[in-house]
Structure 1
Amino acid sequence: MATTGNFALWIRQLASAENPRARLICFPHAGGSANFYFQFARGFGGLGLEVHGVQYPGRQDRRHEPFRDSIEELADEIGELMGEWKDLPVVLLGNSMGALVAFEVARRMEAMGNPPLSLFACGRVAPTLRKDEQTHLKGKDAFLKEMSLLGGMGNELLQDEEILDLILPPMRADYRMAETYCAAPGTQVSVPVHVHIGRTDPKVNEPEAAQWRLSTTGEFSLDTHEGGHFFFTENGDRLTDAVSSSVRDALAAKA
């Protein structure tokens, strides 16, 4: 494992494994942090997966760093770090904006000859479908209404002005990246892509999620779960099982 300070700045370990067979790297949603996946990571206990979360610049202990300008710029930096990490196979998982970042990181890992085992994309339309709803340009009240609609933040946080002063800037910056991103038609990875969405997610429906099929030349699957945009925060067992099964099958195929 790389031990440089820069690596530790970006990649945070959330769960260890005694004899890990692979690493799961989790990419947060807009405004999210690595610790968002802490509870989800605990579900992999005993499954042989080491779980890590990505910490984007501009939030929490990185709040004094400048925001990045695009999904591609963010992926360039993360992809370079991931290229150094070759002692164990890697699986990428992203939710919402994180799914786009994970997709772009997968592309860079493939270009470096170190592709991930698979990519799990949750709660996001396909990379070639641009949804520029211009949420990042809305006034504070309208922006907070959007946050409330998606869930993932308690209402008490949305009423706390001091906390809002900390979390709104990175949220706006992330929304701008996500809403202005669109992969060119034909942009693909070759690794398996597994898409998971919540049945009541207001941001993505099954036809939009199914378009991820065009983003890979490899295996594709689409699963719908009960719940909304952050369906796995309340019941992530099916997603945990899917990731674990995917790793097991991929490693068996390699063997």
Structure 2
Amino acid sequence: MVTEERDRTALLCVPFAGAGPSFFHPWRALSAGRWPVVPVELPGRERLILQTPYRNVFEAAKNSVDDIVANLGEGARTMLFGHSLGAVLAYELVHLLSARDVRVERLLVSGSPGPWTQRERRATGLPEREFLARIEEFAGFRHEALDHPEMRDLILPVLRADCEMHENYVPSTEEPVSVPICSIRGSSDHLVGAEEAQEWRKATTGEFSYAEFPGDHMYLVDRVGEVLDLIEAECARGR
């Protein structure tokens, strides 16, 4: 429990479409104890697989914030990291956490255009074969679990719900956040261009920084250590 380490800033990690908290479990060891790593749990996956997944970003954030605050502890300090869908979820959580006596020190958004920009290419509503092809196009690879009918039947409803809430996302407020934002992108990301990734500059009244790593939209799968080093550098900038 993070409540045992309240004097330390926690790294709150928000999953991307189709992912669960286990994606971030290796980050705990790789962070080398720099911060408690706290993944956000969403319905429809892993421990909560029997629960209905959300189809609205703000609803997902609003209904998750109580559990997040309880896990972090009163008066906690945190940084938020979110990739793709997780970026806009994290953005909504910053607004909510700032009103709940949780000190948000930084927002790190990855693989995402600014919160007011929607994707031109969509997957929502496509027939199964076309939907999976579009998801493969977005991710840059095909997850092997999707080749197994039983696993595909478990994963597909969550993927569809996640894509719907991401592609239909509209920010809950026009007000920018006050916390510093760092936007990160894979240098070969064909989904999110450099200019789009830097749109996040307008989403904060605080400091803004931008970084790229070699790779495509899912660059972070192979660059975890470097991402964590960047987060440490960003954290140091705020001291």
TM-score (norm 1): 0.84
Mapped contact 1:24–1:90 kept (Cα < 8 A): yes
What is the number of equivalent residue pairs in this alignment? Answer: 237
Kindly indicate whether residue 223 of structure 2 is the aligned counterpart of residue 235 of structure 1.
yes
1:108 pairs with 2:96 = yes
CA distance in 2, matches of 1:38, 1:142: 31
Alignment partner of 1:135: what SS? coil
1:166 aligns with 2:154: yes
- 1 CA distance for matches of 2:53 and 2:190? 27
Shift of 1:204: 0.6
Letter in 2 for 1:219: E
> CA, structure 1 residues 46+62, in 2 after alignment: closer, same or farther (shift >3 Å)?
closer
| Residue of structure 1 in register with 2:40 after alignment | 54
Q: What runs of 5+ residues in structure 2 fail to find an aligned partner?
A: none
Deviates further, 71-80 or 118-127:
71-80
Aligned with residue 52 of structure 2, among 66, 75, 94: 66
Aligned in 2, Cα 1:59/1:155: closer, same or farther, shift over 3 Å? closer
| 1:81, distance to aligned residue in structure 2 (A) | 3.2
Instruction: State whether structure 2 residue 140 is matched by structure 1 residue 156.
Output: no
Kept after mapping to 2: 8 A contact 1:90/1:116? yes
Does residue 1:195 correspond to 2:195, yes or no?
Answer: no
3-state SS of the aligned residue for 1:118? strand
Match of 2:171 among 176, 183, 188: 183
Given that residues 115 and 191 in structure 1 are in contact (C-alpha distance below 8 angstroms), is that contact kept between their aligned partners in structure 2?
no
Q: CA deviation at 1:31?
A: 1.1
Once superposed, what is the RMSD of the aligned Cα atoms?
2.4
The equivalent of 1:43 in structure 2 is 30
- The answer to whether the 8 Å contact 1:132/1:180 transfers is no
* Cα pair distance change 1:210/1:124, threshold 3 Å: same
Q: Say which is worse superposed, 31-40 or 179-188, in terms of deviation.
A: 179-188
Matched, 1:214 2:199: no
- Name the amino acid aligned to 1:77: N
Secondary structure, counterpart of 1:221 in structure 2: strand
* CA distance in structure 2 between the aligned counterparts of 1:148 and 1:20, rounded to whole angstroms: 42
Query: Where do residues 91-130 of structure 1 align in structure 2 (5 Å cutoff)?
Result: 91-130=79-118
CA 1:176–1:155 in structure 2 vs 1: closer, same or farther (change >3 Å)? closer
1:41 deviates by 3.3
3-state secondary structure, aligned to 1:173: helix
Change over 3 Å in CA distance of 1:99–1:162 after alignment to 2 = same
Tell me how far apart the structure 1 counterparts of residues 12 and 143 of structure 2 sit (CA, whole Å).
Answer: 29
SS at match of 2:13: strand
Query: 1:30, 1:97 within 8 Å by CA — same for their partners in 2?
Result: yes
Q: Give the C-alpha shift of residue 233 in structure 1.
A: 1.2
Q: 1:248 to 1:230 in 2, by over 3 A?
A: same
> Separation in 2 of the partners of 1:82 and 1:42?
21
Contact 1:94 1:122 in 2 (8 A): yes
Structure 1 position 109, deviation (Å): 1.3
Moved more, 63-72 or 100-109: 63-72
Distance 1:60 1:46, change over 3 A: closer
Deviation at 1:214, TM superposition (A): 0.5
* TM-score for both structures, normalised by structure 2: 0.90
C-alpha contact (below 8 Å) 1:121/1:194 kept by paired residues: yes
What is the SS of the residue equivalent to 2:217?
coil
For residue 136 of structure 1, give the secondary structure of its aligned residue in structure 2: coil
Q: Distance in 2 between matches of 1:223 and 1:153?
A: 23
Report if aligned partners of 1:40, 1:232 keep a CA contact under 8 Å in 2.
no
What letter corresponds to residue 39 of structure 1 in structure 2?
A: P
Question: What is the aligned partner in structure 1 of residue 61 from structure 2?
Answer: 75
